[in-house]
């Protein structure tokens, strides 16, 4: 599965992690004080470990879910916590008559680790395998090993299988939701005729490019000349096929770093990250020549007009788009089939 899904899946599990920490912490506090009242050996250590140390760690993890920069540390604590809990259980109870009463915590810990803790499947399985190994070691190095040690290990393995099946099904269900959302987003962002991005998608890409790179961005508006006459003469079916053909021509002849979308009718927009206006003008003039020499179906020849503007500091997408649009109208008023560049705020064109 993709890294995009893994990121989406983890972000969607953050509320689950918070609730798990929120409810597990008081359960451990209660656990510690119940142990204390049972008059077992090392009561102070039990209270410290189960009623203070483990709950504190869980609350810290809960707090870190709200701070993105602490997420790597949070994941490390999620890895360490179940190991500490099992180690504490074994250290306090192996070799005592009360051990059988505390074994269920280990089984619950295993299911919790794989299915509910928020760890990835790989890390969850590593933690569980580690806990099974240290459980066997604790028993093996006892002077009188517990006669049911292997039965305990079998139940631990069964708990791991139950947790693993639950986690896999949960992950698959979420993957189905993720892919469905991706398809819906693609439909929402795509022009139904040309399958180019629409205006909303271009706007998001523009802001993403600016925020992530802070490099110069140019915007190019492209309009097919006299396209209404094509529709009137040949009909809208032919007109639609020409728009699809023109969209493919733009895609094939733009740079890999450029992104083209359809804004409606015969108007197209190209967002050009890391591009000065002079570079954008060179690209537009190259496209102008390619369009002029291209043999289109039904009509053979079409021309297009281009308007270009470069983003000003802190300018919105609508702002630079408006200036590129003004340059486009200047190109159309100047006889069409040419390129105009908005060079200043004073409505000057080059």
Distance CA 236, CA 343 (A): 36
The alpha carbon dihedral of 153, 155, 158, 162 has a sign of negative
DSSP state string for 152-219? HHHHHHHHHHHHHHHHHHHHHHHHHHHHHHHHHHHHHHB-TTT--B-HHHHHHHHHHHHHHH---EEE
44 as an active site residue: the answer is: no
Query: 308 pairs with which residues across the strands?
Result: 220, 341
DSSP H/E element including 259:
strand 259-264
Question: At residue 190, what are phi and psi to the nearest 5 degrees?
Answer: -110, 135
Instruction: Tokens 């987003």: give the residue.
Output: 185
Write out the two tokens for 251: 């895609």
Q: At what angle do helices 121-140 and 71-93 cross, to 10 degrees?
A: 20
Beta-carbon neighbour count of residue 246 at 10 Å?
Answer: 22
Q: 93: which 2 tokens? A: 């109870």
Say which of 39, 266, 267, 285 is annotated catalytic.
266
**At 341, is the secondary structure helix, strand, or coil?**
strand
Q: How far is CA 21 from CA 49, 50, 301, in A?
A: 16, 14, 67
Nearest to 290, CA basis, from 327, 241, 258, 246: 246
Contact 157, 132 (CB under 8 A): yes
Contact predicate 264/275, CB 8 Å? no
The helix (run of H) or strand (run of E) holding residue 267 is strand 267-273
Catalytic residue annotation: 266
């Amino acid at each position: 599965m993709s890294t995009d899904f893994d990121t989406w899946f983890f972000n969607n599990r953050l509320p689950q992690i918070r609730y798990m920490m929120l409810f597990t912490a008081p359960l451990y506090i209660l656990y510690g004080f119940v142990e204390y009242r049972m008059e077992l050996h090392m009561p102070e250590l039990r209270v410290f470990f189960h009623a203070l140390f483990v709950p504190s760690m869980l609350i810290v993890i809960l707090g870190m879910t709200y701070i993105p920069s602490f997420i790597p540390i949070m994941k490390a604590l999620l890895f360490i916590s179940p190991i500490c809990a099992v180690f504490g259980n074994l250290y306090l109870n192996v070799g005592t008559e009360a051990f059988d009463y505390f074994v269920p915590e280990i089984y619950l810990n295993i299911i919790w680790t794989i299915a509910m803790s928020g760890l990835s499947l790989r890390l969850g399985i590593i933690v569980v395998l580690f806990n099974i190994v240290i459980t066997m070691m604790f028993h093996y190095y006892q002077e009188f090993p517990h006669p049911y040690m292997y039965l305990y290990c079998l139940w631990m393995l069964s708990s791991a299988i139950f947790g693993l099946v639950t986690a896999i099904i949960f992950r698959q269900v979420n993957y189905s939701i993720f892919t469905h959302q991706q398809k819906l987003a693609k439909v929402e962002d795509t022009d139904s005729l040309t399958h180019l991005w629409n205006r909303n998608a271009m706007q998001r890409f523009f802001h993403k490019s600016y925020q992530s790179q802070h490099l110069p961005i140019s915007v190019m508006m492209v309009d097919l000349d006299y396209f209404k006459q094509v529709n009137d003469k040949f009909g809208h079916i032919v007109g639609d096929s020409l728009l699809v053909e023109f969209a493919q021509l733009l895609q094939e002849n733009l740079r890999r770093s450029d992104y083209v979308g359809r804004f409606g009718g015969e108007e197209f927009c190209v967002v050009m990250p890391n591009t000065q206006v002079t570079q954008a003008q060179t690209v537009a003039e190259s496209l102008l020549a390619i369009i002029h020499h291209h043999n289109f179906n039904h009509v053979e020849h079409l021309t297009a007009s281009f308007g270009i503007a470069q983003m000003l500091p802190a300018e919105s997408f609508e702002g630079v788009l408006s200036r590129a649009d003004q340059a486009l109208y200047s190109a159309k008023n100047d006889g069409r089939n040419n390129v105009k560049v908005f060079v200043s705020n004073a409505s000057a064109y080059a």
